[in-house]
Structure 1
């Protein structure tokens, strides 16, 4: 039986990098965003159901995220109908990962882990964190969104302090070396617990 470790954190906190560090430490990593990309991509299991729901969302046999965002802005009720299609498909993708993963620690990289109640399916949760000023600076340096868009995304996420308080482990991603050392310590702690079980 593998140990299920949820990995979460707000935008710009360094979650993707931390997920990579867990992979380097020998953990199997499942990425919720990557699962959605597979589902929406060419030949993905979500393309035809989405075409049936909203044909304008499908371009070149892939579900276009920019088109979806525009359509949801037009009709906010669309989001709930999209989620009814996508959430079960993401669940299937996650289960396929669980069924085939070989590692003793499975890491589930899920941005909205607490918001969606996914933490209930985990044995423990890691939250990545940095001070708010550094978070904003990182996101703005990417050059992919405006400050207003960043604030909108943040508003939809549980406050960082709440996530940290509800997590079993916290990784401060101020430097790569610091983050790597914390990840290794978490992996060592979990493996020690597994060998004593």
Structure 2
């Protein structure tokens, strides 16, 4: 039995990646959500809690990780961010492997990973799909989020590969700033090709 075609879905903050992922789900393709996996390991009883509390005292409690406190602890501190990544990433990787095993009989799966191209996650995929939109659309989407500021937005961008670079690396670019119909048509085309070559 062949393994499924693995679609690596990525895109910078505010590029509509989550909406693209939901369209893949709508078409019956299983999606691994790396952000959701991070939340899982940080919620009450989560595997990351002891190590996070040890590295960043006072940032966890009965409700799991206090995202505001942890965010403040790593904001603008590359060393602290690296420490957090060393704790969380291996645990998320374990959840991803469980997902791959669970859906190994499918023709295609999607790995929704924000930092797919910044790390080495791209090595484990067959097709790189990048969600992209014009900067003014991206900025408006991000600043509409509760608690988001221009400074936070720019700080996130500093840690992400520029959209222009991602577009160059991508096997396919999914435009999310030109209407939902175009986005859905592109996703359907990717799903059709992936299902035809997998399994």
1:37 Cα offset (Å): 0.3
Tell me the equivalent position of 1:2. 4
User: Distance in 1 between the 2:167 and 2:117 partners?
Assistant: 11
Tell me the equivalent position of 1:177. 181
Tell me the equivalent position of 1:28. 30
User: Distance in 1 between the 2:75 and 2:128 partners?
Assistant: 33
Could you say which structure has the higher helix fraction?
A: 1
Preserved CA contact (<8 Å) 2:108 2:198: no
Greater Cα offset, 152-161 or 122-131: 152-161
Preserved CA contact (<8 Å) 2:130 2:174: yes
- In structure 2, stretches of 5+ residues that fail to align are none
User: Distance in 1 between the 2:160 and 2:197 partners?
Assistant: 31
Tell me the equivalent position of 2:48. 46
Could you list the structure 1 runs, at least 4 aligned residues long, displaced by more than 6 angstroms after superposition: none
User: Distance in 2 between the 1:165 and 1:76 partners?
Assistant: 26
User: Distance in 1 between the 2:196 and 2:102 partners?
Assistant: 23
Q: Does 1:97 align with 2:99?
A: yes
- In structure 1, stretches of 5+ residues that fail to align are none
Closer, same or farther: CA 171–81 of 1 in aligned 2, 3 Å: same
- Alignment size in residue pairs: 195
- 1:96-124 residue CA offsets vs partner (Å, 9 max, x unmatched): 11111253211011111100121111111
User: Distance in 2 between the 1:29 and 1:56 partners?
Assistant: 33
